[in-house]
């Protein structure tokens, strides 16, 4: 069968042969056993809903074995034979170009070069899934191949509920992930519901089909590192940045350090992902011995090298040993998946990677105890460095939150609302006041042709738009504009593409609209193929996350999620091609609500109308909320937006004289 025929087939009528387990692939860790015997039967009933009754006798023992061996039913037998990657849009079957674009993005999320655990349909973060099982993937792709512009596909935590009558102006796909009742958002609730096959953790851009590999966060990390050095009034050259994690999102850190121009040391316990990042060029060197790491770092600092070094081991070793050696760390952070601490997101010191995985599945209580013990040591070592002048920030991965729950010394001696911890979130000190409040966030695009020449042309278009805008930009956003122009000019040179021909660029609403319109005009002239717009959910208005995206909100509304819900509803009727809303993201299940979108540009006047309407709302919804929280940058930005759009009328806060209070 051809690729197109396999897509159109969906779930095959004749069972394919079982697939062998491939140990060379980076697999998800075994999930802990959490279902009762009765619930295990329910999980099997749920899984078998996808298959004709004549296949049940064959599949029951197989699915039962998967559930017992891995803690989940992945349906490995149904993994497609074809290679998984983002093909040019013309290669997908279908009646709707918008639907074909979504198929392209789904396959990009599952590309072996992009996905963290591709056979388990997990894109990044240890549990950020596109689908729960392979039947869902097959059925979704079949629906997209059949879809017309008069239908909308409804996605229910990875499950394609079906095609519903709709209209051309509606989203082609509506995605929800993990949207459970609030009182059932504890980690074990997710474990149980996911094992039953009724809910999933979509992370942020994994479950919304908008992940573009580590590039998606390289830019944000580069901005964070650059501004971290600016905060301590030191040049990155000859400076040291220490962190950990080389998985999906965290793999961006060493690349960002290189672009910023410092020495980066990043710890990782998983040998497989470490070597993958090295082969992709995202890290320069791998060192496995702490005794070799110390002199290498000293030499790099002495020579003011721009180099990224992966330490294959536990990051606590680095913090403790560098303290003993009095080796000064300028910037410090952590980007392990601590939103998922008990299922592979963070590993205890004193155990090998394999021993940790065995302990995680066989004795989860002991594993949790060892993780929390490690967190206490981790925080204690960081405290010694910060006492000597290190600037440490939480990278939005729930490090401080989980460390505090473990009893680590991370709480502020004199806490204020929003500043409960010793150390700031990077959003509180950098991304929030410098970017999000002014409307700058991670705007993305993917060239649907798959042609690198198209990507180069879009880079040139975006750069020209920004340079023209900067001539008249107010002083308040000159630095943001300059950083982004520098970034886009170096994008090709830095070889950021992994998977699809994609780019990320921080821009405000004006920039996003002007860049998108310039793309649409270029498509209309036949200069480039279709372009798929999107963004990271980690943005101005898509995400309500009290310890990350909205951590610089100090009016008491950090724990509300109205903004994210408004965002996705508003995008839906303003022209988005698909929309998504998730419970859980980079800081954990039950800790955040986040939403995203995708939009296909086809060169039409309708696309121009949609992009202007939707992108304006997508950004300014968040600025309005940040303004109401009395964030000065956001007040400035929303007043500027009102001056350009007479239909925009936003309530501006009045500020109370503190002496009266």
* Binding-site positions for NAD(+): 125-126, 203, 268, 395, 586
- Closest listed residue to residue 130, CA positions, set 198, 205, 21, 74: 205
Rounded Cα–Cα distance for residues 286 and 121 (Å): 28
15 and 134 Cβ atoms separated by less than 8 Å:
no
Strands (DSSP E) found in 508-643: 531-535, 543-544, 578-583, 593-601
User: Which tokens hold the place of 496?
Assistant: 């950021």
Rounded Cα–Cα distance for residues 362 and 140 (Å): 35
130 and 208 Cβ atoms separated by less than 8 Å:
no
Rounded Cα–Cα distance for residues 631 and 618 (Å): 19
**C-alpha dihedral (20, 22, 28, 33), degrees to nearest 10:** 40
Rounded Cα–Cα distance for residues 273 and 244 (Å): 13
- How far CA 510 is from CA of 241, 463, 624, in Å, comes to 33, 14, 15
542 three-class SS: coil
Enumerate the known binding-site residues: 125-126, 203, 268, 395, 586
37 three-class SS: helix
Q: 250 phi and psi, to 5 degrees?
A: -65, -20
175 three-class SS: strand
240 and 329 Cβ atoms separated by less than 8 Å:
yes
Give, for 551, the enclosing helix (H) or strand (E).
none
- Closest listed residue to residue 392, CA positions, set 376, 401, 381: 381
511 and 439 Cβ atoms separated by less than 8 Å:
no
Q: If you compute the radius of gyration of the chain from its CA atoms, what whole number of angstroms results?
A: 24
- How far CA 473 is from CA of 365, 480, 633, in Å, comes to 55, 10, 14
Buried residues in 251-278 as b, exposed as e (16+ CB within 10 A): bbbbbbbbbbbbbbbbbbbbeebbbbbb
Residues 169, 171, 499, 308, CA torsion sign: positive
| 3-state DSSP of 271-332 | HHHHHHHHHCCCCCEEECCHHHHHHHHHHHHHCCCCEEEEEECCHHHHHHHHHHCCCCCCEE
177 three-class SS: strand
Rounded Cα–Cα distance for residues 299 and 341 (Å): 35
User: Which tokens hold the place of 96?
Assistant: 């709707």
Rounded Cα–Cα distance for residues 317 and 311 (Å): 10
**What pairs with residue 156 in β-bridges?**
159, 176
153 and 138 Cβ atoms separated by less than 8 Å:
no
Q: Say if strands 531-535 and 441-447 run parallel, antiparallel, or are unpaired.
A: antiparallel
497 three-class SS: coil
- Closest listed residue to residue 321, CA positions, set 342, 297, 341, 345: 297
181 and 169 Cβ atoms separated by less than 8 Å:
no
Rounded Cα–Cα distance for residues 203 and 170 (Å): 25
């Amino acid at each position: 069968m051809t690729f197109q025929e396999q897509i159109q087939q969906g779930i095959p009528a004749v069972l394919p042969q079982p697939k062998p387990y491939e140990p060379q692939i980076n697999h998800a860790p075994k999930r802990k056993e959490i279902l009762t015997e009765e619930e295990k039967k329910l999980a099997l009933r749920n899984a078998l809903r996808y298959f004709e009754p004549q296949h049940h006798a064959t599949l029951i023992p197989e699915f039962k074995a998967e559930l017992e061996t891995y803690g989940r039913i992945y349906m490995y037998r149904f993994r497609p034979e074809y290679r998984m990657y983002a093909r040019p849009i013309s290669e997908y079957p279908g009646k709707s170009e918008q639907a074909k674009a979504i198929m392209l993005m789904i396959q990009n999320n599952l590309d072996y070069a992009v996905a963290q655990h591709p056979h388990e349909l997990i894109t990044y973060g240890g549990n950020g899934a596109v689908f729960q099982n392979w039947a869902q993937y097959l059925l979704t792709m079949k629906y997209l191949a059949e879809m017309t512009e008069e239908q909308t596909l409804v996605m229910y935590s990875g499950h394609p509920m079906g095609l519903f009558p709709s209209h051309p102006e509606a989203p082609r796909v509506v995605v929800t992930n993990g949207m459970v009742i609030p009182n059932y958002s504890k980690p074990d609730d997710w474990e149980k519901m996911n094992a039953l096959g009724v809910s999933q953790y979509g992370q942020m851009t994994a479950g919304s089909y908008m992940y573009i590999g580590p590039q998606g966060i390289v830019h944000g990390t580069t901005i964070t590192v650059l501004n971290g050095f600016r905060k301590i009034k030191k040049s990155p050259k000859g400076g040291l940045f220490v962190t950990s994690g080389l998985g999906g999102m965290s793999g961006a850190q060493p690349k960002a350090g290189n672009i910023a121009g410092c020495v980066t040391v990043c710890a990782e316990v998983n040998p497989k992902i470490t070597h993958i990042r090295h082969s992709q060029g995202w890290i320069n060197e791998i060192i496995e011995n702490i005794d070799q790491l110390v002199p290498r770092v000293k030499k790099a600092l002495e020579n003011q090298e721009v180099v990224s070094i992966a330490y294959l081991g536990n990051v606590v070793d680095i913090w403790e040993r560098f303290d003993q050696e009095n080796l000064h760390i300028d910037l410090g952070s952590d980007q392990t998946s601590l939103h998922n601490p008990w299922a592979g997101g963070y590993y205890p010191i004193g155990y090998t990677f394999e021993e940790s995985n065995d302990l995680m599945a066989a004795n989860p209580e002991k594993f949790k105890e060892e993780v929390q013990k490690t967190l206490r040591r981790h925080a204690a070592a960081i405290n010694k460095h910060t006492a000597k002048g290190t600037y440490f920030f939480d990278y939005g991965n729930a490090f401080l939150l989980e460390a505090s729950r473990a009893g680590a010394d991370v709480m502020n001696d004199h806490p204020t609302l929003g500043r409960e911890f010793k150390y700031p979130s990077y959003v509180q000190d950098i991304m929030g006041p410098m970017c999000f409040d002014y409307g700058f966030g991670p705007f993305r695009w993917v060239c649907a042709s798959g042609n690198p020449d198209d990507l180069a042309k879009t880079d040139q278009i975006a750069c020209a738009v920004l340079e023209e805008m900067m001539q008249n930009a107010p002083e308040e956003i000159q630095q943001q504009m300059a950083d982004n122009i520098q970034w886009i000019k170096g994008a090709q040179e830095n070889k950021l593409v992994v998977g699809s021909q994609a780019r990320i660029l921080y821009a405000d609403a004006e920039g996003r609209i002007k860049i998108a319109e310039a793309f649409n005009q270029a498509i209309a002239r036949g200069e480039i193929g279709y372009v798929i717009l999107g963004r990271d959910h980690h943005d101005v208005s898509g995400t309500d996350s009290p310890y990350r995206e909205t951590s610089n909100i100090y009016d008491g509304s950090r724990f509300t999620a109205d903004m994210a819900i408004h965002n996705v509803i508003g995008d839906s009727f303003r022209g988005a091609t698909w929309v998504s809303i998730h419970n859980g993201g980079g800081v954990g299940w039950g800790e955040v609500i986040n939403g995203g979108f995708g939009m296909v540009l086809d060169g039409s006047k309708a696309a121009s109308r949609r992009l202007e309407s939707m992108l304006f709302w997508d950004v300014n919804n968040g600025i309005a909320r940040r303004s109401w929280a009395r964030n000065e940058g956001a007040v400035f930005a929303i007043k500027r937006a009102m001056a350009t759009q007479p239909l925009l009328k936003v309530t501006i806060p009045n500020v109370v004289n503190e002496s009266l209070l």
